[in-house]
Amino acid sequence: MMGSSYDSSVVVPKEASPTSHRHQDSLEYAENGDEYHSSIQGHTRADNRDMNRMGKIQELRRNYRPLSALAFTVILQGVWEVLLTATYQGLVDGGPAGLIWSFVWTWFGFSMVMLSLAEMASMAPTAGGQYHWVSEFAPPSIQRSLSYFTGWMSTLSWQAGTASGPFLVGTLIQSSATIMYPDYVATNWQGTLMVIAVTLLVWALNVYGSKAMPLFQNVMLMVHVFGFLAIIIVFWTLNPRNSAEVTFTQITNGGGWNSTGLSLMVGQISAIYACICSDGVAHLAEEVKDAGKTVPKAMINAYLMNGLIGLVFLISYMFMITDLDAALNDASGYPHIWVFSQAVGPGGVVALNAIPTILIFAGTLTYNLSTSRQTWAFARDHGLPFSNWIGKVDKKLDNPANSVTFTCLITVLLSLINIGSDTAFNAIISLNVVSLMITYVFSIGSVLYRRITAPELLPVCAWSLGKWGVPVNICGVLYAIHAFFWCFWPESTPTDLESFNWASVMFVGVAVLSMIDYIARARKHYKGPVVLVEGWKGE
């Protein structure tokens, strides 16, 4: 809030916080040992302490443990699956060698972002994530407005990413159909119907099957590993392959850019897309037991695991692209289908393609979970229109069913645009990476500001960067700005309506809409979560 400040050394009296009286019951459990588990929905003392410090009520059941939290993060990121199915731009701009090296530097650069987010997730383990961290750590004069803008960008980024998942599943199914039935011609309206069907299934599972999700994530983690092994074995035993010199040194410029170096920088968006969303489990923090420890460890371990598997997979995959033009121009629209077809017959191609299709569906389910929790948290803090409805938790189902429904409705509505123009649909989902990068810049920048100006006000946390905090945060901000800049570039030049990167237009449009909503509605209702934090002092 304008003119407000935050002092962790000051404890606000209970009557000063509008939600304090609602915590009275949960405060009592700490004296009762492990007996609180059933009555306080799986809390630990640390969870209770964190929630009370942030002024939040425990409304969701903490079903996730270290393994399921790790599995959740691994499946949501799905690095090797993304590198297999969503690297078209990287292959056009950079080719196999460019894609390998851009993934290496992206993984190292993005690790600074991930580590910064992991520490903030330990400081304030809340489903809100970035907008909450901005509200708590940003300069007092801009806490409210910057937190609100970050919340909008985070919500829209996750919503756009959620819409892309069913679309990818649908087009992968259509690509399998083109293999088995060469006369089949995929149409946009069929793709939209598949998106709707996938979304309805996701809605049903996440609303009525949410209690089984941790077990589901654990099972899919095994599928993730064994699926990786199955495809790698096919690659190295049945596929023809390039030489190491071609694979690692021949960088291409298929986008028509002025130089190979510029082409390589434009193509790195594929590697960036593969490395994002390690913070997905942070939005599930209020459903993770001992979240202050478990969430950052899940983020770090998943990033390391996915990075190692992803690099091995990417190098193997790039060795198998012996004809880049043929792979890029395959009738299915997916280069990996061409690679599969060089090793096995049509039935084998469909069987192999089923592995990433199933895993990307699992990732879509997981992505929807994370998105709905982030959206629910922002609505809980009155950041969205219809916040009272979106921010409601269904007591019988123990989940924010309205937020899941809202998220699925957004996906269905966006998929309808695809009937008329897949360019317009792709323009909207292009917001995913761009918007996410700006939330990283603001949230990491805010904790860096707090760390430099008043480090004693940073909350004590279970996982800390310690003396490395400032350099890691600086590197994280710089890398996020770097990625943000390159996310706006088109795939090739010259551009037309079909090839233009509409992310810039969409980003500005969303920023204007959020400003209009702030002036018309939110400035009267949105105070920012910092006003509930223990130790906050108002004007």
Cα 29 to the chain's mean position, in Å?
34
Does 20 score more than 80 pLDDT? no
pLDDT at 182 (0 to 100) = 87
Helix residue ranges per DSSP H, 124-212: 130-137, 143-180, 188-208
Measured from the Cβ of residue 134, the count of other Cβ atoms closer than 10 Å reads 32
What are the tokens at 322? 């012996």
List of residues 6+ apart from 217 with CB closer than 8 A: 68, 71, 72, 75, 362, 366
Residue count (the chain): 539
Residue 534 pLDDT: 62
6 DSSP β-pair partners: 536
Cβ-Cβ contacts under 8 Å for 207 (sequence gap 6 or more): 397, 399, 401, 404, 405
Q: Which two tokens stand for residue 534?
A: 């223990």
The confidence score (pLDDT) of residue 536 equals 59
The pLDDT mean for the chain works out to: 87
Q: What is the pLDDT of residue 14?
A: 36
Q: What are 364-386's pLDDT values in tens digits? A: 999 999 999 999 999 999 998 88
Residue 64: alpha-carbon gap to chain centroid:
18
Q: What is the mean pLDDT of residues 484-506?
A: 85
Q: What is the pLDDT of residue 538?
A: 52
pLDDT, residue 38, reads 39
List, for residues 395-417, the tens digit of each pLDDT value.
Answer: 898 899 999 999 999 999 988 88
Rounded to 5 degrees, what angle do the CA atoms 43, 47, 51 make?
Answer: 115
**Residue 499 predicted with pLDDT over 90:** no
pLDDT above 70 for 10: no
**In the chain, helix, strand, coil percent, each to 5?**
75, 0, 25
pLDDT per residue over 323-346, tens digit each?
999 999 998 889 999 999 999 999
d(CA 351, CA 238): 15
**Structure-token pair, residue 529:** 């979560």
What does the pLDDT average to over 500-511?
84
Rounded distance between C-alpha atoms, residue 431 and residue 410, angstroms: 14
In 3D space, the residue among 229, 126, 191, 24 whose CA is nearest the CA of residue 533 turns out to be 126
Q: How do residues 279-317 score in pLDDT, each as one tens digit?
A: 999 999 999 999 999 999 999 999 999 999 999 999 999
Q: Of 66 and 517, which is predicted with more confidence?
A: 66
The dihedrals phi and psi of 55, each to the nearest 5 degrees, come to 75, 25
Per-residue confidence (pLDDT) for residue 307, from 0 to 100: 96
Secondary structure E strands in 76-157: 93-94
Beta-carbon neighbour count of residue 539 at 10 Å?
8
What pTM, to 2 d.p., does this model score? Answer: 0.89
DSSP 43: -
Residues of the chain above pLDDT 70, percent: 89
Contact call for residues 98 and 252 (beta carbons, < 8 A): yes
Check pLDDT > 60 for residue 41: no
**Picking from 134-148, 170-184, 502-516, which range would have the lowest pLDDT averaged per residue?**
502-516
Of 221-225, 495-499, 523-527, the least confident: 495-499
pLDDT tens-digit readout, 214-247: 999 999 999 999 999 999 999 999 999 999 999 9
> What gap in Å lies between CA 120 and CA 137, rounded to an integer?
10
Q: How many other C-beta atoms lie within 10 A of the C-beta of residue 316?
A: 20
User: Mean pLDDT over residues 83-88, rounded?
Assistant: 93
Q: Which of 158-162, 177-181, 187-191, 410-414 has the lowest mean pLDDT?
A: 187-191
Mean pLDDT for 108-126 is 96
Q: 536-537 and 93-94: which strand pairing?
A: unpaired
